[in-house]
Amino acid sequence: MATFTTGDIPPMNGGTVIVTGANSGVGRSAAHALAAAGAHVVLAVRSVGKGKEAAAGMPGSTEVRELDLADLSSVRAFAAGWEGPIDLLINNAGTSAPSLTRTSDGFESTFGVNHLGHFALTNLLAGHLTGRVVTVASQAERMARLDLDDPNWQRRPFQSSRAYADSKLANVLFTAELQRRLTAAGSGVLAQAAHPGLVATAIYDRGERSVSNSLWKLAVKLLAQNSDQGALPVLYAAVADVPGNSFAGPSHLAHMRGAPELIPRSATAQDPAVAARLWTVSEQLTGVGFPA
């Protein structure tokens, strides 16, 4: 039976943790738990003011740095300003754009933030990584139809829910290919993915998951976990004794609620050829690759 709680986080002993989007929701809860366990937690956030408000409520050692995943120049600046080892990188920040919008670099916003921004960040910081990379994905990946010939919706009619699912499949595929490359390079760094379950966070105020949608409103009201509970699969992926390229998620209600455990993923998410092609497309779009 899955029983993992924040009490199972080992002493972090001042190790450095970066959490993107740590000013609210699951990211904030994960950052709080890791700071309480003794980590030095860097809140990598678009709004420094909101990040400082969140950090003020956290125990232990925290720091706030600006990072806008919708702008590759911001991602590059964050990475260029980094010094020292990173014990844990949690790629948590996410969005679900209700209509077709684009990042500063012209990417469709959901794919650009959820996948491409984190892809670039992880590769640019790779030389500093010593422990794990956890990317927050979702079981929504099972509903994806990722079109790698048109990942930024330049030719297809835009669908918010499909774009979100595509970005979450990209997160899982990215984790798989990142782990393959780390292993091939002889690195001991582990790449993991985590599905928080159904969590009552701000993402349900946007896109086709908006709580103005009566079905989602009822589902969120009756079934959603709070952000502290949603953070548990992320924390489990970050510290539990599990192999690389694991996918953690809640253990109950079709993996939507409950204590974390390792969960299955779709056949597409396990396809190494698709993962490799996504990586190549992502390198071409961002101009960032896996370091030699």
Angstrom distance (rounded) from CA 278 to CA 174: 8
Closest CA relative to residue 197, chosen from 168, 243, 231: 231
Structure-block tokens of residue 261: 């455990």
Closest CA to 133 of 278, 7, 290, 292: 290
CA 239 to chain centre: 16
Q: Residue 10 to residues 26, 189, 210, 238, 239: CA-CA distances in angstroms?
A: 19, 18, 37, 11, 7
Rounded Cα gap, residues 225 and 97, in angstroms: 22
Based on the residue annotation, tell me whether 236 is a catalytic residue of this protein.
no
Identified catalytic residue from 164, 174, 247, 279: 164
| Residues labelled catalytic | 164
